[in-house]
Chain A
Amino acid sequence: MSITNDQNQMLIQMIKEFTTNELAPLDMTIDANGDYPDGLLQKVIDTGLLGITLPREYGGAGFDYVAAAEALEKIAVGNASMAVTLEGHFKTIEQFIKYGNKELNEKYLPSAVKRIFAFSMTEPSGGSNPKGIATRAIKQGHNWVITGDKIMITNGGLAEVYCVLSKTQDDQMAVFVVDKDMPGFKFGKREDFIGLKGVPVGEIVLNHVVVPESHLLGTIGEGLEIGDNAHADARVLMGAVLTGITDHALQTAVSYSKERKALDTPLYQLQVTQEKIADIAIAKQNTQALYQKGAQNKITGRPYAEVAAMAKSYGSRSAVAASDKALQILGGYGYSHEYPVEHLIRDARAMELAEGTIEKMNFEITNAEIAK
């Protein structure tokens, strides 16, 4: 086996241990309280999880996307919220690595092992539609002055560094890096979502925030490409998170169906249960295959946007359905807060919307197929 495989295996083993000890026991609490308990994020930071994908030259561990995605799958089995928090961070770091200039990366990336980074596109007037972008970046001397309102940001309020998709004065799309400590930066409202309760999804308000030229990610006019790239990177990782959620549903259903009997017969021996468990297990394998192909294509330089969209489209629908099947196996208990399956449905449902709706995924997949 190669060194990379050995290293990846050690990472996954370590992640499983951390998840079992630190995250899984808090899964129900995080859902009930709608936030991470005090100290949990610090533990995640102290264990170096923010730096899994960050290149070694910036103080990170430099694992590739295949390893990072598998790590998120295992984390999501314990707690999907924390996996999504890391997903938002990892996808943003990817954009720095691909599009960031040397000065910007040297200034910001070393802090990415301790500070969470976020990517903000959506505005009150629209999500995936770039025409709706109202945030403006106006050039003044060697600086850019940014004004606008970004909403529904994964880790909004928690993250300290934001990539902001903006329009320049001549209507070109561009992405700028903004720090929460800059004058004119303000946090807005946090959404009250029904699932993934640990992840803050919130708003930032920029009022004449001044950034130097080096804070431009990529070039002027490259904003949409960077946005698309961030979407594809996010969707691969979301496929991993959805695999983890489906696995969580599977494990809960399997363990319950072994213990619970109907007329002296364990539930798993009944054909009605077997059909559901098989469906959940198949869904897990399928989503896993899709995200792994996306991650593999990405690290080998092959196109991965379409398969990433498939991982998210198929993965989110099947994870919702799988969690619902698990709920049905658990019967009344499944419908109760006592068991995790009901919150798995709410968690998975988020990913039918976030990073582009299922309809948007299907639009992109169809376009890719038509173009072949």
Chain B
Amino acid sequence: MKIVVGVKQVPETDSVKIDPKTNNLVRSGIQGIINPFDKNAIEAALQLRDQAGGEVILLSMGPDSYTTSLRDGMAMGADSAVLVSSRAFGGADTLATGYTLAKAIEAIGDVDLVLFGRQSVDADTGQVGPIVAELLNFPQVTFAETVSLESENTIVAKRQLDSAVQDVQVTLPAVVTVRKELNTPRYETPLNIKESFEKQITTWTENDLNIDFSKIGQSGSPTKVTKVYEPTKELKQTTVLPVDPTEAVSELLSKLD
């Protein structure tokens, strides 16, 4: 089974600060980590590989520094990694990113399953997985809370939606985006860390992929971000009710009037 896992490097949430003068994110000195949901996707891939055999390939698009996250993913146990990296991909929105990743997955070839985290914690769109599925014409399951192999070419997944749970069966190849409830990602191990430096990270530029140049980077991105701002915080008024239940109920009722 050949499984590709989409990995995005995001700023470590704890270390993100906003410059009080400019209101911009302070990016310098911030450590990049694997998008936490993507770790669940890697764990799911490793479990499926351990069960059915095959390989787990990590795929990311971004600058050279993204190798840090790919290395981390390989230290969890993934077999190899592909980084799509070039200035030509810069400024890509979710559509251009999805297109580029889909083309990379085609280039990897014979992929049975593509896994993504449900969304990234920095952009929160949750769009890239579904876009990749559409472009590859693969069936897709989003927000999966369980994923298991039903037969050689079928998986079943449980989708957790706002008000319902949906059991879905799809034929491979397919795209699945996963929730954090799916599993607990394993720790890297000291041996896997050493081995991750012996595994391959292949870097592809736009010239290595069979792509339409108008669909990548800024030119392939219809989304325009006009403004990024911190929402104003409204201070809600809080009333602490008395400890005595009778008094508390009567005060509550008077507030509701």
A: residues with CB less than 8 A from B are 3, 6-7, 10-11, 14, 17-18, 47-49, 51-52, 56, 59-63
Contacts and interface: CB of A to CB of B under 8 A. Distances in A.
Contacts, number: 45
B213 interface: no
B158 interface: no
B206 interface: no
Interface centre among B71, B188, B190 (most CB of A within 10 A): B190
Chain B interface secondary structure, helix, strand, loop or mixed? helix
B189 A7 contact: no
A52 B192 CA distance: 11
Given A47-B189, A48-B192, A60-B191, A14 B75 contact: yes
A51 B190 CA distance: 8
Contacts of A63: 190, 194
Contact of B190 (A3, A11, A17): A11
A63 B188 CA distance: 14
A3 B197 CA distance: 8
Interface in B191-206: 191-194, 196-197
B79 interface: no
Contacts of B191: 48, 51, 56, 59-61
B189 to A, nearest CB: 4
Contact of A61 (B72, B187, B190): B190
A61 B75 contact: no
B187 A47 contact: yes
A47 B187 CA distance: 7
Interface string B116-141: 00000000000000000000000000
A10 B75 contact: yes
B187 A14 contact: yes
A7 B196 CA distance: 9
Interface of B: 71-72, 75, 187-194, 196-197
Nearest to B75: A10
Contacts of B194: 7, 56, 61-63
A17 B192 CA distance: 15
Chain A interface secondary structure, helix, strand, loop or mixed? helix
Contacts of A62: 194
Contacts of A49: 190
A59 B193 CA distance: 13
A151 B196 CA distance: 42
A109 B192 CA distance: 19
A20 to B, nearest CB: 11
A287 to B, nearest CB: 24
Given A10-B75, A10-B188, A61 B197 contact: no
Contacts of B72: 10
Given A10-B196, A18-B187, A48-B190, 12 more contacts: A3-B197, A6-B197, A10-B72, A10-B75, A10-B188, A11-B193, A14-B187, A14-B190, A47-B187, A49-B190, A51-B191, A63-B190
Given A3-B197, A6-B197, A14-B75, A52 B190 contact: yes
A189 B32 CA distance: 50
A10 B194 CA distance: 9
Contact of B189 (A3, A6, A56, A61): A61
